[in-house]
């Protein structure tokens, strides 16, 4: 017996960075030991904002699958699949859309945010408005009770619960109301101190080589007040320190912090120490990735088998949904 069903998805944006790893993946890898876990590469969601340029979609799906497997998601312990391989999700999305008031979708803070932020793109579309409803279909088709995500997804989960509740109210008890399973927040800034993001070009990727890591750590921003090595530094405003907190053993961390505050260690040396620890963390992931890259058929097989398993479950949920709605 497991502790219950969890479901979570990731958009196929290409190679995953450390922000993606600590924001979600690390947690999924732990949770697969105790929960019945479904993880989906949500290609339809990628279309909601990226429908105009789909040239890299298949490559991006593969990159995410490679990163998932090399970071430790285990097809023997969880079910991984591509969203669009489960057509039942699209039917559930359609049916849920019938009970979802437009005002709920328009009110969603991520909807308003994105409309502003992605100004250059035309996302004033029906598909983009329906994003949270599609996400609800992902979750509810699995009858998942828990959804391991970062805080940014809380508005979507709130909507998933409201949609589930409304469906249950109209057609009778069908779906559990899914709860967020929040990841303990490990805050990793990007190289420039802003949030780590592919579009800011400030990310360290799980697939980065030791040479790339060395180069990137040397570019990280430190305390801007600190000009000379002997100036006392303030670790609280330093990206390198934020990384040390995640990748460096406590005793070394305290020693490095103290040395920085007293102006005893320069930023260059501090970055070298970090690079070493980062390389140690990423090397096994790199190694597994190279093995998997040499065997793309295996990766594709994992996703096909995952889709088969997820579908069995999805078909059952959808039969129940149709029955409750008096559809055939
Ligand atoms: N909206 C999520 C994100 O941007 C991705 C996602 C789609 C998702 N479907 C999901 C997450 C279902 C959890 C459960 O990260």
Of 99, 62, 79, 97, the C-alpha closest to 9 is 79
Look up tokens 């340029």; give the residue.
53
**pLDDT tens over the chain, length 328 residues:** 788 999 999 999 999 999 999 989 999 999 999 999 999 999 999 999 999 999 999 999 999 999 999 999 999 999 999 999 999 999 999 999 999 999 999 999 989 888 888 777 888 899 999 999 999 999 999 999 999 998 889 999 999 999 999 999 999 999 999 999 987 767 789 999 998 988 889 999 999 999 999 999 999 999 988 888 888 999 988 999 999 999 999 999 999 999 999 999 999 999 999 999 999 999 999 999 999 999 999 999 999 999 999 999 999 999 999 999 999 8
Q: What is the pLDDT of residue 153?
A: 92
Query: What ranges do the domains of the chain cover?
Result: 5-188+296-324, 210-289
Q: What is the atom index within ligand 1 of the atom nearest the CA of 24? A: 15
Q: What is the pLDDT of residue 183?
A: 75
Q: How far is the CA of 304 from the centre of ligand 1 (A)?
A: 20
Q: How far is the CA of 139 from the centre of ligand 1 (A)?
A: 9
| Residue 12 · residue 64 · CB < 8 Å | yes
Regarding the beta carbon of 141 and ligand 1, being less than 6 Å apart is answered no
Ligand 1: which residue has its CA nearest to atom 13?
8
Region of 221 (left: φ > 0; alpha: ψ -120 to 50; beta: rest) is beta
Report the topology of domain 210-289: Tyrosyl-Transfer RNA Synthetase (1.10.240)
Burial class (CB in 10 A: 0-12, 13-18, 19+), 52: exposed
- Coil/strand/helix, residue 198: helix
The reply to whether 210-289 shares the fold of 5-188+296-324 is no
Ligand 1: which residue has its CA nearest to atom 14?
8
β-bridge partners, 9:
40
Regarding the beta carbon of 62 and ligand 1, being less than 6 Å apart is answered no
Regarding the beta carbon of 149 and ligand 1, being less than 6 Å apart is answered yes
HEC assignment per residue over 165-177 = HHHHHHHCCCCCC
Ligand 1: residue of 13, 22, 39, 45 to mutate (most ligand atoms within 8 A of CB) is 45
Q: How far is the CA of 10 from the centre of ligand 1 (A)?
A: 5
Regarding the beta carbon of 43 and ligand 1, being less than 6 Å apart is answered no
Regarding the beta carbon of 159 and ligand 1, being less than 6 Å apart is answered no
Q: How far is the CA of 89 from the centre of ligand 1 (A)?
A: 14
Question: For the structural domain made of 5-188+296-324, what CATH number should be given?
Answer: 3.40.50.620
Ligand 1: residue of 8, 61, 161, 176 to mutate (most ligand atoms within 8 A of CB) is 8
Regarding the beta carbon of 39 and ligand 1, being less than 6 Å apart is answered no
Q: What is the atom index within ligand 1 of the atom nearest the CA of 7? A: 14
Ligand 1: which residue has its CA nearest to atom 9?
135
Q: Which residues of 126-157 are buried (b: 16+ CB within 10 A; e: fewer)?
A: eebbbbbbbbbbbbbbbbbbbbbbbeebebbb
Q: What is the pLDDT of residue 115?
A: 84
Ligand 1: which residue has its CA nearest to atom 11?
9
């Amino acid at each position: 017996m497991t502790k219950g069903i969890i479901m979570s998805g990731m958009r196929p944006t290409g190679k995953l960075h450390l922000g993606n790893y600590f924001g979600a993946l690390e947690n999924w890898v732990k949770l697969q030991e105790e929960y019945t876990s479904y993880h989906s590469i949500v290609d339809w969601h990628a279309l909601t904002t990226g429908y105009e340029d789909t040239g890299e979609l298949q490559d991006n799906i593969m990159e995410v699958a490679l990163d998932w497997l090399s970071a430790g998601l285990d097809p023997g312990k969880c079910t991984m699949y591509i969203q669009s391989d489960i057509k039942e999700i699209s039917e559930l999305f359609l049916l849920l859309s019938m009970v979802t008031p437009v005002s709920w979708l328009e009110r969603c803070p991520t909807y308003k945010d994105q409309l502003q932020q992605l100004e250059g793109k035309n996302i004033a579309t029906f598909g983009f408005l329906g994003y949270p409803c599609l996400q609800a279909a992902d979750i509810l088709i699995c009858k998942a009770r828990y959804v391991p995500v970062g805080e940014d997804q809380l508005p979507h989960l709130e909507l998933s619960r409201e949609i589930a509740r409304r469906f249950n109210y109209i057609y009778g008890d069908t779906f559990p109301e899914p709860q967020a399973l929040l990841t303990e927040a490990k805050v990793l800034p990007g190289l420039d101190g802003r949030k780590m993001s592919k579009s800011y070009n400030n990310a360290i990727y799980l697939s980065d080589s030791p040479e790339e890591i060395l180069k990137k750590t040397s570019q990280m921003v430190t305390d801007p007040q600190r000009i000379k090595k002997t100036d006392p530094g303030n670790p609280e405003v330093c990206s390198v320190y934020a990384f040390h907190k995640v990748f460096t053993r406590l005793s070394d961390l305290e020693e490095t912090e103290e040395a920085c505050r007293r102006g005893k260690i320069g930023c260059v040396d501090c970055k070298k120490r970090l690079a070493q620890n980062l390389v140690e963390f990423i090397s096994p992931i790199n190694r597994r990735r190279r093995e998997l890259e040499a065997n793309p058929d295996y990766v594709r097989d994992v996703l096909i088998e995952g889709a088969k398993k997820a579908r069995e479950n999805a078909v059952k949920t959808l039969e129940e949904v149709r029955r409750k709605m008096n559809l055939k």
